[in-house]
């Protein structure tokens, strides 16, 4: 076991709150148990552990993230893996070589708390750095049999605001527009709602044009702040 992983697991257990654990597990509908650690103390513990254990290469960083992720017995261990993937000191490692790791985390995590953090931040970051390559990747993900890859493709531009590539966003929405899956309908509405913060007119136009295909949930979410 890598020193960072060993230290991280001990740090999490030291701040666990058994009273909160079942409540958090029930809320997330998780089969994996919780330690009962909320976001702020988890991030504080993560910072302390990461500062004490430097990772010197891409391979060491990737392998440590995946050891935390694959070996997790508690959900917070996977949250810690996501934190390590996004830790500022390893920004130089977050290249296209990291994409297979993100894809594994998305498909094996297969729930919104994991997937949204990875899609909106890590996948989105790669899209900013490599728009042509990642555009092709996300268009392929948008047609995947895996709903979480589809959701990731839709949500990758959540933080792009005025920089949103509309053609890419709509290409990623289109294959899921008629799906009944809640997490896809919600993602479509959320992505459009975020776009509406900088281009309300365009979102109104798009929703009106596709009113017959968009689900009520997607339309309601997209127009939530415009009505």
- The pLDDT tens digits of the residues spanning 174-214 come to 999 989 999 999 999 999 999 999 999 999 999 999 999 99
CA distances to 62, 75, 80 from 70, in Å = 12, 11, 12
225 pLDDT band (50/70/90 cuts)? Answer: confident
pLDDT attached to residue 171: 98
- Rounded to two decimals, what is the model's pTM? 0.96
Residue 105 inside a domain? The answer is: no
49 with 122, same domain: the answer is no
CATH classification of the domain holding 207: 1.25.10.90
87 with 33, same domain: the answer is yes
More confident residue, 226 or 131: 131
86 with 115, same domain: the answer is no
pLDDT attached to residue 203: 97
Percentage with pLDDT > 90 across the chain? 98
135 pLDDT band (50/70/90 cuts)? Answer: very high
Cα 202 from Cα 181, distance rounded (Å):
25
**Listed residues 64, 93, 122: the one ending a domain:** 93
Q: Which domain holds residue 131?
A: 111-227
Residue 67 inside a domain? The answer is: yes
124 with 34, same domain: the answer is no
63 with 120, same domain: the answer is no
The yes-or-no verdict on residue 227 having pLDDT over 70 is: no
116 with 206, same domain: the answer is yes
The yes-or-no verdict on residue 1 having pLDDT over 90 is: no
Q: Read off the pLDDT of residues 30-69 as tens digits, 9 standing for 90 and up.
A: 999 999 999 999 999 999 999 999 999 999 999 999 999 9
186 with 118, same domain: the answer is yes
Q: Read off the pLDDT of residues 3-23 as tens digits, 9 standing for 90 and up.
A: 999 999 999 999 999 999 999
Cα 84 from Cα 7, distance rounded (Å):
13
Number of domains into which the chain is organized? 2
């Amino acid at each position: 076991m890598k020193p960072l992983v060993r230290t991280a697991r001990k740090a999490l257990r030291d701040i666990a709150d058994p009273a909160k654990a079942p409540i958090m597990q029930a809320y997330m509908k998780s089969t994996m148990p919780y330690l009962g650690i909320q976001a702020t103390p988890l991030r504080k513990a993560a910072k302390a552990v990461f500062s004490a254990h430097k990772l010197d290469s891409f391979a060491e960083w990737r392998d440590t993230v995946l050891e935390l992720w694959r070996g997790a017995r508690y959900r917070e261990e996977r949250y810690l893996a996501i934190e390590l993937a996004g830790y500022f000191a390893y920004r130089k490692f977050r290249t296209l070589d990291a994409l297979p790791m993100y894809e594994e985390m998305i498909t094996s995590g297969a729930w919104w708390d994991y997937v949204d953090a990875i899609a909106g931040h890590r996948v989105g970051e790669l899209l900013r750095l490599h728009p042509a390559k990642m555009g092709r990747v996300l268009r392929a993900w948008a047609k995947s049999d895996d709903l979480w890859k589809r959701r990731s493709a839709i949500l990758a531009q959540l933080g792009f605001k005025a920089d949103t590539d509309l053609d890419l966003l709509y290409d990623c929405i289109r294959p899921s527009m008629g799906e009944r899956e809640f997490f896809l309908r919600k993602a479509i509405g959320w992505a459009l709602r975020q776009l509406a913060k900088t281009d309300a007119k365009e979102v109104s136009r798009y929703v009106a044009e596709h009113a017959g295909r968009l689900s009520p949930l997607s339309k309601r979410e997209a127009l939530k702040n415009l009505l």
